[in-house]
Amino acid sequence: MASRLAIFDLRTGRTETVLITDRLIEAPNWHPEDDTLVINGEGRLFRVPLEKPALVKIDTGFATRLNNDHGISPDGMSLVISDATQTDGSCIYTLPFAGGVPCRVTPLTPSWWHGWSPDGATLAYTARRDGVFDIYTCPVTGGAERKLTVGFQHTDGPDYTPDGAWIWFNGERRGRMDLWRMQPDGADLQQMTDDAGENWFAHPSPDGAHVLFVAYGAGTAGHPRDLPVELRIMPANGGASHSLYALTGGQGTINVPCWSPCSTRFAFVETVPDTDTR
**275 pLDDT band (50/70/90 cuts)?**
low
Distance of CA 238 to the CA centre of its chain: 20
- Mean pLDDT, the chain, integer: 97
CATH number at residue 206: 2.120.10.30
Q: Based on C-alpha coordinates, what's the Rg of the chain? A: 17
What is the spatial distance between Cα 229 and Cα 246, in angstroms, rounded to a whole number? 6
Q: Is residue 278 part of a domain?
A: no
Beta bridge partners of 227: 249
Q: Is residue 223 part of a domain?
A: yes
Instruction: Establish how many alpha carbons lie within 13 A of residue 126's alpha carbon, considering only the half-sphere containing its beta carbon.
Output: 24
Averaged pLDDT for residues 140-144:
96
Nearest 5°: CA angle at 40, between 35 and 46? 50
pTM for the structure as a whole? 0.96
The mean-pLDDT minimum among 59-68, 112-121, 186-195, 269-278 falls in 269-278
DSSP type of residue 217: P
Count of domains for the chain: 1
Q: Which residues of 129-163 are buried (b: 16+ CB within 10 A; e: fewer)?
A: eeeebbbbbbebebeebeebbeebebbbbbbbbbe
Beta bridge partners of 134: 127
What is the spatial distance between Cα 25 and Cα 164, in angstroms, rounded to a whole number? 30
Instruction: Tell me the CA end-to-end span of the chain in Å, nearest whole number.
Output: 14
Q: Is residue 277 part of a domain?
A: no
